[in-house]
Structure 1
Amino acid sequence: MEESYIILDGVLTNNKNVISLNNRSFKYGDGFFETIHVCKSKIQFLNFHFERIIDSAQKLKMKLPSHFNEDFLKNDILKLLNKNKFYLGARVRLSIFRKDGGLYTPESNLASYTIEAEKLPIHIYELNKIGLKIGIYDEIKKQISVLSSIKSNNSLIYILASIYKTEKNFDDCLLLNEHNDIIEATSSNLFVVKNNVIYTNSTSSGCVNGVMRNAIIDLAISQKYIVYDDCIFKEADLIEADEIFLTNAISGIKWVMSFKDRRYFNKVSKKLIEELNNQFID
């Protein structure tokens, strides 16, 4: 088996034991992450990812290294992929966390980071052949706050929703906020189509501000769809929809076949994922 490498604070290493027991992300969930799709040497939507990195660091009062800009991150990712010989499709995870030290009160607000990568089985965005069967996870509600939109290293609600999904034999689950609005899936943003008009949640509803969410909004508008990105969804909105699909940075788009007794089409999903590949995959 070939050695695989990661990056820690800009340095390539094949030592996977780089995280100490004092790591604040391990102890307190004190950090955030980005999951990034790379096709060949093209890092998809890096500008959106980097905007969210800056926003997340500011909200968590973390100080990124002064040299940590978009070009530096791009070079780090490509250096890692080349070292691991990942030349087609790769899933990259960037984890950013406050440096070791302190209890709840940190000794420093300086940030460290790691970058990991793994090969993807297919380098393009591929629509699922069989639509998803989804349900609603209502045991814990996601609270709306300034932290709702970031990809926090504290992911307990998504873990519990995913366990519930498995227990109930769903392919995915939708989460609720404290107002019982439907806001997102376990690792994806939610889109609803009715009469060829596309709707998605407002980020003020508590959903993650997804990179692919923003990319699909821009893409759909460029394809002459009417898009509303400030919506609040209840169950009735899903029942009345013609189509439902989920988006994230790695999969692109996954279409939903069923929710409760309702069945859906995937016409818009097919068109958008085809255009996504045409515009962004070499």
Structure 2
Amino acid sequence: MSHQDPLVVDDPILRRWMDDGSHDIGFLWELCMHFEFDRDEVADGIAAWLGAPDGLSVLDCACGSGFPALQLIQRGYDMTCTDGSELMLRHFRRNAQILGCEVEPVRALWAELPGRYADRFDVVINRGGGNYKYAGAWDEERLPDRSAMAEAIGQWIACVRPGGRFYIDIASDAEMRRVGSWETRHPLMLIGEHRIELTERIEVDEARAVRVWESRLVIDGTPHEFRRLSHCIDSAELVQILKDGGLVDIRRTEVSGEYYDIYTARRP
């Protein structure tokens, strides 16, 4: 255990997770988001791009534990929130309660979205480091082939109404060009009475264009190990997928607070 002075994290969401004993992948992601994002700054940045909330319908089709959908709800937006993981939706409901948001998320796989929501939303959002889009795959057998990424993105696009907009994030091309492996050690944290250490390691398999993500989360001396896989996808590949999906006005868009590169587009 490190003897450095801990970083005191006074975040109501993280404190509640610790009190509830939720030391799963959802808690890991909440910790990572704490270091990567200022939630309010991101929500304000997205809201500035969205425009006034009056009459605007928005789908977050990978809502996870609720960021930034819950913050957008607090700002008056009509959000529909879906995710394929019941675990993450449990965390979503907890976070909604903490933030005082009255919303019930929907469990839905991406393949189910067109049948449920075709041509429905003014805006569809998919963000949070997902492109990487398969960073949730836990083993080789569950890692889809690269064509599945284009298929999934097409399923999100199908939910945009004609004239509607699309918002997606991706790691920068400079990040995608990194090779070998690297490790990030976050500062020792104190959340309530709990001491937290987090180390993240990424290794690039250039031959397969696959990244291996390994995270070690130590809570009060007890280690929790996580490993997941993702394909590498650069901006040119993403833009081509969006074009093939029928979108126009595709551009990289600066959004205050976002950690990853943001691409926006419109369905004609």
Q: Higher relative contact order at CA 8 Å, sep ≥6: structure 1 or structure 2?
A: 2
TM-score normalised over the length of structure 2: 0.27
TM-score normalised over the length of structure 1: 0.26
Larger radius of gyration between Structure 1 and Structure 2: 1
